[in-house]
Amino acid sequence: MLRQRVRRRNRRNPARNLRASHRPSLRPQQRPKPLKNHRKRSQRSTATPPKKVVRNGGTADPAVQLAPGVSAEQASSQRQNTTQLLAATDANLKQISSHPMNSSQQASVDQIRKYMEQAKAAEQAGDVQRAQNLASKALLLSDDLAKQ
């Protein structure tokens, strides 16, 4: 009966029949075989591009004027409009100053005066579009304060 068990075991696992010297090695291989379709990675360039030092913000690029071209007629009409806006703002400020003001209203008046000063400075510098924008901001703020 013992022999029958051994024979059955040997049928199931034929490697047991072999002597130890003839048995295949069960150890994992030391080095894995390379894949057949394996491609080597191309070596990427690790060199960085040379740095360009620009001292004091100087460049060779020419200065470009980004402001749109305004004709003489448009500039004169914008100056006239700015003058009218500043005059209306000044009239509103005189009306507002006769009433008592709280701190937020006083801060608004200070902001209106700053807008008016900046508008005059922009007009003197020849930037009529900026002057008109600042004058209209000042007028809107002063109108809002005058309604309160």
Q: Please tell me the distance from the alpha carbon of residue 139 to that of residue 131, in angstroms, as a whole number.
A: 12
**Can you give the pTM of this predicted structure?**
0.53
Question: Tell me, what DSSP letter sits at residue 54?
Answer: -
Task: Kindly tell me if the per-residue pLDDT of 2 is higher than 90.
Answer: no
pLDDT confidence bin for 10, thresholds 50/70/90: low
Helices (H), 23-147: 72-97, 103-125, 128-147
Residue 144 pLDDT exceeds 60: yes
Residue 15: what pLDDT?
57
pLDDT of residue 27 exceeding 60? no
Where is mean pLDDT largest: 23-27, 40-44, 92-96? 92-96
Please tell me the distance from the alpha carbon of residue 142 to that of residue 139, in angstroms, as a whole number: 5
User: Which of the residue ranges 9-13, 17-21, 107-111, 143-147 has the most confident prediction, judged by mean pLDDT?
Assistant: 107-111
State yes or no: pLDDT of 38 exceeds 70: no
- Which residue, chain included where needed, has tokens 């000044």? 90
Distance, CA of 44 to CA of 54 (rounded, Å): 29
Question: Which of 31-40, 80-89, 98-107, 113-122 is least confident?
Answer: 31-40
Lowest mean pLDDT, pick from 44-53, 86-95, 102-111: 44-53
Q: What is the pLDDT of residue 32?
A: 62
**Domains of the chain, with CATH numbers?**
74-147 (1.20.1270)
